[in-house]
Amino acid sequence: MESLWAPWRMEYIKGESPNECIFCLKSRPEEDRERMVLFRGEYSFVIINRYPYTNGHLMVAPFRHTVNLGDFTDAELIEIHRLVGLSCDVLKDCVNPDGFNVGLNIGRVAGAGIDDHLHYHIVPRWSGDTNFMPVLADVRVVPQHLEETYEQLRAAFERFKNRA
């Protein structure tokens, strides 16, 4: 029998969570690498999901702590949408997916793990990317370490930043 090694999942499995909102980080750019922030705009940012569904699973969140779409200004909404598009372009360049799932989970009953700070999920998908692991073992296999993914995507965001 072979083992699957995914030590970054232990925090999630144990239910450990930070005392503060993981998306409230506007005034702390010095923590971007540690927090896996890939790109910062004026109103929002792109971050790697530490508990990804697939390799390259990103999130776009506003700096402002709210979950109500009606609270955002037009400028905030436009930038968030542009960063979602930029994230898709970067992922196409780096991991060559066949498609994407892009969306919001608003409220705990809708699947939001963090339900008080709005964030979009960008999940790259490949033809045939569902295998026996989720069905038989309730496990997803992510083939690339998060640190390696971060370095690859951070460089790509730097190349694509003029599109933001």
Active site residues: 119
Q: 3-class DSSP state for residue 63?
A: coil
- State how far the Cα of 125 lies from the Cα of 97, in Å rounded to an integer: 5
Cite the DSSP H helix spans in the chain. 10-14, 32-35, 74-95, 132, 146-160
- Contact indicator for 78, 140 with CB cutoff of 8 Å: no
- Pull the structure tokens for residue 13: 């499995």
Identify the CA nearest to 76 among candidates 42, 121, 122.
42
